Amino acid sequence: MTFRRKRTAILISGRGSNMRALIERARDPSYPAEIALVLSNRPDAAGLAFAKENNIACAVADHKIYAGREEFERSMQVLLELHRIELICLAGFMRMLTPWFIGQWQGRLLNIHPALLPAYRGLKTHERAMADGVKIHGCTVHFVVLAMDEGPIIAQAAVAVRDSDTPDTLAARVLAEEHAIYPAALACVAEGRTRVQGNRVFCGDPAIESAPLRVPFDG
């Protein structure tokens, strides 16, 4: 059987830190996903330069020039189809997606969130976690659904919240875990190992099912 990597697009709005982690992981020819396109809604997104340096196709759909969200997304859809994209990873893509677009990519659209969902949906997750005095914080990779920061969870990683932490130091440790679990979660999906039942995701292989879960309690 011929091995074929899934053509994957990464959507960014800024520096694309998680984009870089995915690109670095996908350098391995045995990795099941090929980063075939980096698409940004901002022409000045810093992550575009890194993608170009790594010989990855880049495209821009500037949301400011469109009459509405759906017109903007239909332009993105054209670009995604042009590049024969099969999977999408959101990596700091700061636009709310419409039901139409999410419907086009149901089960093939992944996002990473800097908190242990379902806790701390939305923004300023590290500040809110520290204000609540939690001892464990982390990040989540999930399938995108209509509700913001919801959807079946593919992988999570946890870190201990230290007494000496600030939101910035906590964010830095969480980000390191994001860079570990996002490529692992994408691999699970690209290889067809995920099965969704209700709001639960099963990898289907007990030998690898725990691989995306990292709990470095180093507090």
Place of tokens 């980000």: 175
133: left (phi over 0), alpha (psi -120 to 50) or beta: left
Query: Between 17-25 and 167-190, two packed helices, what is the crossing angle to 10 degrees?
Result: 40
Query: Annotated catalytic residue: which of 63, 83, 113, 142?
Result: 113
Q: Is 1 helix (H, G, I), strand (E, B) or coil?
A: coil
State both tokens at 51: 């993608």
Active-site residue 113, yes or no?
yes
Burial of 5 (0-12, 13-18, 19+ CB in 10 A): middle
Q: Is 4 helix (H, G, I), strand (E, B) or coil?
A: coil
What lies within 8 Å, CB to CB, of 133 at 6+ separation is none
**Which residue numbers are catalytic?**
113
